[in-house]
Chains A and B, each alone.
Chain A
């Protein structure tokens, strides 16, 4: 068990971290590259940059969207806040970074972390349920869309159990191992699945906005070029 733990915290962790960072960087690079090429090819000088920037920004700040579907939007917002804050600012994680690399940053209070962790797990389940219940979203959804939120909940749930051994029905070390491995797998999945929207969101919006201003049918060509032909938008 100790060997497995040191493997999951050692080489497997470094490799996953590298893959996540470089993979996401690659997504950004390829998108920018292709957008630049596509706009150049399009030769359309009348692209309304200002408007595109405004729309992209509006997309990034989710207030408008929340209004349109209040329950789903709020759940999603809380979910996102929780899954970004906890892994980065949990005191235990910061302490690990500090011990191994000397880097350190402020952590969030323990109680807040606990609350956010529970919220992350609950909202993940809610998101999946909402998706499954509503007819229109169900039609658009693939396996990935159900699987990913539930999978994101795994490191959070196991992490919570590790932190609160009194409520943990499983032995300590296997729980910790599950936590570390699921976290690593998540990092690997980030660039490979639609989770890459964490860096691609501004870019995707930009691409689709650009596409709207192109001559007829050019948008689908961009889709073909991006290798996302036939995928739901």
Chain B
């Protein structure tokens, strides 16, 4: 085996090793643990790259088969087998990629049973499944030619298959036409999501034409690829002609694409300098315009480097196009975005690597190319007389590849995020500390409704206002905060002659007699673990103190077998506290929101029961404390606040989509 090939295969095996590790994480802990997919981005890289681009890249199979078998262009026959093999492995990779992407992959067979012919996706699925079978049949003669299948039964099957070539090829063309175009039709139902530069009523035509061109360029890319690695002679004459044909189809594509924009009247938005327009223009340049310009030159067409550049440009450009349609140019709710996680990217690369390795293996074992692919001679079997066997280099390849596999898997394991190893945990929403602000107490003339507000310059209202020092409490709902009159509460609750902080501040820490709530209730929604093992170790004089909590020496030293906190910390719960018992095992403080609601709402409800005349300021109404009208002003006061945009709303209509829609028939 030559050096180039060994290096390539080592790298590919490393990717497959990474894939293996990620497979465990993906299927153990689900999509949320390994991907950046979310409700805002239901489709991500796996659909865009593995499915949409994968199917398009495999278009070479039907294009070449049609050219040779239907149109009788016998010259291209040497390119047919590799093209069909690429297509077959491409579709297998699509199916494997889908397996990762589907939420319930073991239901992948459902479309075959539960038909739903109003769904474009159903049509795509059925065509892909059938075409996969057709490709398998189209390629199987190559397998059956192998001496291993010398049995007369296999010879018989081979004969039948060869006779069925033409119907198979025609079926393949029909199926490909359908699903290559339908992958575009998938987005017909998303006029609200897809940017008008990509959304078009004829998107399926664009997808089909681009797939044909891409198929041709992919065929030349892969023959250059195997020529590079196996030292085959490049059939420059064939590839040049193929390039010429591809240039024609690509020109057609450009005309259709731009013509469609003109007809729909969206052309101005392609030139307005927005990021979408830049994206659109660069995509069109890379996938079609530059390759066509290059391919029209005879000198470029007839050189290996020129062909390589053109085919790589087209392949990258068309993949880019599919990514744009499926991910980049998709509208998302305000403030939400999607960028694939490294694990998603690595899974995609791993699947592609596995497909490439299969391609290389089959090319080496079978007669895919006219020239034999194996560049090293078959070693003689063991000869006891000459003792010639077991050449170390032949044996060293599985060692090398498996080592690459293991090292890559280990690296991936090291860099796996916590969620991917232990499952998705809720994200932390830190609580902002309470801060004091200058505020107002607004009261209408009758004194029935009272309302707290922030002091802003030039207040002039019919209400009676009183200046107050207020506390601003983080009330994170939709970026809201709560204003709290601490002084008034002290006045109302305090009992003369007694320190009554403990009424509300129920777990006063020894050094800080009125510690703030967010000291322990550190997360807005989730319970916080407030137990610190190391500080207890320090406080209890290191190793000597272990038995204070872990008294049972016959049990494992875990939290559950240790002494309850409340047994030692008896003084911290103040006399007459409103929240009396935080529970025997208060290592977890409830979320800030729950804690505050439990404190404020419960206490106020009690007050209402005692003094029913104060009922109108009942705290059961959310906006008694969470006043939406404060949001704008409060936002200016805490610029660092993380989640200030209410994002349940959708972005305002952009002028581009407006223009595009009006011109649609």
The contact of B543 among A19, A41, A172, A227, by CB within 8 Å, is: A172
Asked if A71 is an interface residue, CB under 8 A from chain B, the answer is: no
Instruction: Return chain A residues, CB-CB under 8 Å to B402.
Output: 26, 29-30
Give the chain A neighbours of B556 by CB distance below 8 A.
90-92, 94-95, 107, 110
Inter-chain contact A15/B389, CB cutoff 8 Å: no
| B405 and A26 contact, CB distance less than 8 A | yes
- Cβ-defined contact, B384 with A14, below 8 A: no
A225: chain B residues at CB < 8 Å are: 390, 392, 395
Report the Cα distance A42→B383, complex, angstroms: 8
A34 at the B interface (CB under 8 A): yes
Write the chain A residue with the least CB distance to B407. Answer: A19
Q: Please, what's the 1-or-0 string for A3-35, where 1 marks a CB less than 8 Å from any CB in chain B? A: 000000011101101110011001001100110
Please count how many residues in chain A sit with their CB below 8 Å of the partner chain's CB atoms: 51
* B-side contacts of A33, CB under 8 Å: 398
A172 & B537 in contact (Cβ 8 Å cutoff): yes
Instruction: Name A221's contact: one of B389, B405, B418, B537 (CB within 8 Å).
Output: B389
Partner pick for A22 among B392, B405, B542, B553, CB 8 A cutoff: B405
Mask: chain B, 405-428; 1 = CB below 8 Å from A; 0 = not: 110011101111010011000000
Residues 77-132 of A contacting B (Cβ, < 8 Å): 90-92, 94-95, 99-101, 107, 109-111
Instruction: Let me know if A43 and B381 touch, CB within 8 A.
Output: yes
Cα of A2 to Cα of B387 in the assembled complex, Å: 60
Q: By the criterion CB–CB under 8 Å, are A171 and B414 in contact?
A: no
A66 at the interface (CB under 8 A from B): no
Q: Are B557 and A166 in contact (CB under 8 A)?
A: no
Judge whether B390 and A222 touch: CB under 8 Å: yes
Chain A residues within 8 Å of B410, by CB: 15, 18-19, 22
Residue B555, interface by CB 8 Å: yes
Contacts of A215 in B (CB 8 A): 384
A154 within 8 A of partner (CB)? no
Identity of the chain A residue whose Cβ is nearest the Cβ of B550 in the assembled complex: A165
**Minimum CB–CB distance for A216 against chain B, Å:** 9
Q: Given A110-B554, A165-B546, A172-B543, A15–B414 Cβ distance below 8 Å?
A: yes
Most chain B beta-carbon contacts within 10 A, residue among A94, A166, A191: A166
Q: How far is the CA of A26 from the CA of B402 in the complex (A)?
A: 6
Say yes or no for A224: interface residue by CB 8 A criterion.
yes
In Å, the complex CA distance between A172 and B545 comes to: 11
The reply to whether the CB of A38 lies closer than 8 angstroms to some CB of chain B is yes
A29 to B395, CA, bound (A): 12
Given contacts A11-B414, A14-B413, A23-B406, A110 and B553 within 8 Å (CB-CB) = yes
Would you give the shortest CB distance from A169 to chain B, in whole angstroms? 9
Report yes or no: B557 in contact with A11, Cβ–Cβ below 8 A: no
Contacts of A171 in B (CB 8 A): 542-543
Chain B residues lying within 8 Å of A38, measured Cβ to Cβ, are 390
CB-defined contacts of B415 to chain A, threshold 8 Å: 11
A166 in contact with B544 (CB, 8 Å): yes
Interface string of B524-556 (1 = CB under 8 A from A): 000000000010010000111011000001111
Question: Which residues of chain A have C-beta atoms less than 8 A from B414's C-beta?
Answer: 11-12, 14-15
Q: Are A41 and B390 in contact (CB under 8 A)?
A: yes
Do B392 and A224 touch (CB < 8 A)?
yes
Interface residues of B in 374-407 (CB under 8 A from A): 381-382, 384, 387, 389-390, 392, 395, 398-399, 402-403, 405-406
Query: Distance in Å from the Cβ of B475 to the closest Cβ of chain A?
Result: 32
| Contact status A19-B406, CB under 8 Å | yes
What CA separation (Å) do A15 and B411 show in the bound complex?
7
User: B558 interface residue, CB < 8 Å from A?
Assistant: yes
Closest to B20 in A: A22
Cα separation A90 to B507 with both chains bound (whole Å):
37
Residue B520 is within 8 A (CB to CB) of chain A in the complex: no
Complex Cα distance A107/B561, Å? Answer: 15
Nearest CB in chain A to that of B416: its residue? A14
Taking CB atoms, residues of chain A closer than 8 Å to B557 are 92, 163
Contact among B21, B390, B395 for A18, CB-based, below 8 A = B21
Contacts of B555 in A (CB 8 A): 91, 110
The one of A2, A41, A100, A217 that contacts B422, using a Cβ cutoff of 8 Å: A100
Q: List 30 A-B contacts (CB under 8 A).
A: A11-B415, A11-B416, A12-B414, A15-B413, A18-B410, A22-B17, A22-B410, A23-B406, A26-B402, A29-B398, A30-B399, A37-B390, A41-B390, A95-B556, A99-B558, A110-B555, A165-B546, A166-B543, A168-B543, A171-B542, A172-B542, A215-B384, A217-B387, A218-B387, A221-B387, A222-B390, A224-B392, A225-B390, A225-B395, A227-B399
Starting from the known contacts A92-B556, A110-B556, 12 additional A-B residue pairs (CB-CB under 8 Å) come to A1-B534, A17-B413, A22-B405, A22-B410, A30-B398, A43-B381, A90-B556, A100-B422, A110-B555, A172-B542, A221-B387, A224-B392
Q: Which residues of B contact A (CB under 8 A)?
A: 17, 21, 381-382, 384, 387, 389-390, 392, 395, 398-399, 402-403, 405-406, 409-411, 413-416, 418, 421-422, 534, 537, 542-544, 546-547, 553-558
Q: State the A residues within 8 Å of B (CB).
A: 1-2, 10-12, 14-15, 17-19, 22-23, 26, 29-30, 33-34, 37-38, 40-43, 90-92, 94-95, 99-101, 107, 109-111, 163, 165-166, 168, 171-173, 191, 215, 217-218, 221-222, 224-225, 227
Q: What 4 A-B pairs come out closest when comparing CB atoms?
A: A165-B543, A41-B382, A91-B556, A15-B414
